[in-house]
Structure 1
Amino acid sequence: MEQSEAGNLQKQIDEIEALSSIYEDEWCVIDEAARVFCIRVVDELEHPKWTVCLQVMLPPEYPSSAPPVYQLNASWLRGQECTALSNSLEEIYLAVCGVLASCVYLNVEVKVKLLLQELYQNKKIANATHNIYAYRIHCEDKQTFLQDCEDDGETAAGGRLLHLLQILDARNVLVVVSRWYGGILLGPDRFKHINNCARNILVDEGYAELAGEGSRTSIKKKKPKNKRGK
Structure 2
Amino acid sequence: MPDLTRLGVVLSDRGSKYAVSGAPVDSRAGVGAVLAELKSDRAYAKATHNTWAAILPGGALKADDGESGAAMVILRMMERAELQDHVIIVTRWYGGKKLGGDRFRRVQDAVRAYLDKCGI
Tell me, yes or no, whether TM beats 0.5: yes
Other-structure match for 2:49 = 130
- Asked if residue 183 in structure 1 is aligned to residue 68 in structure 2, the reply is no
User: Counterpart of 1:162?
Assistant: 75
User: After TM superposition, where is structure 1 displaced by more than 3 Å over at least 4 residues in a row?
Assistant: none
- The offset of 1:171, in angstroms, is 2.0
SS at match of 2:27: helix
Determine the structure 1 residue equivalent to 2:31: 112
The Cα shift of 1:118 comes to 1.2
Unaligned 5+ runs, structure 2? 1-25
- Partner of 1:194, secondary structure, is helix
Higher strand share: 2
* Distance (whole Å) between structure 1 residues aligned to residue 88 and residue 45 of structure 2: 15
Q: In 1, distance between residues paired with 2:76 and 2:107?
A: 12
Output the CA distance in 2 between the equivalents of 1:205 and 1:167: 15
Residue 197 of structure 1 pairs with residue 110 of structure 2: yes
Q: Structure 2-normalised TM-score?
A: 0.73
SS in 2 for 1:136: strand
Q: Which amino acid aligns with 2:46?
A: N
- Does the 8 A contact of 2:73 with 2:107 survive in 1? no
The CA distance in 1 between the partners of 2:95 and 2:103, in whole Å, is 12
Q: CA deviation at 1:200?
A: 1.4
Partners in 1 of 2:83 and 2:44 — Cα distance? 24
RMSD of aligned residue pairs (Cα, Å) = 1.4
Amino acid in the other structure paired with 2:54:
Y
What's the CA shift for 1:193? Answer: 0.5
Cα separation, 1, equivalents of 2:64 and 2:108: 13
Which has the larger Rg? 1
Per the TM alignment, residue 173 of structure 1 is displaced from its structure 2 partner at its CA by 1.5
Q: TM-score under structure 1 normalisation? A: 0.39
* CA displacement 1:68-125 (0-9 Å, x = unmatched): xxxxxxxxxxxxxxxxxxxxxxxxxxxxxxxxxxxxxxx7011111111111101000
- Output one character per residue of 1:28-48: Cα deviation in whole Å (capped at 9) or x when no partner: xxxxxxxxxxxxxxxxxxxxx
Following the alignment from structure 1 to structure 2, what is the Cα–Cα distance between the partners of residues 171 and 199?
Answer: 16
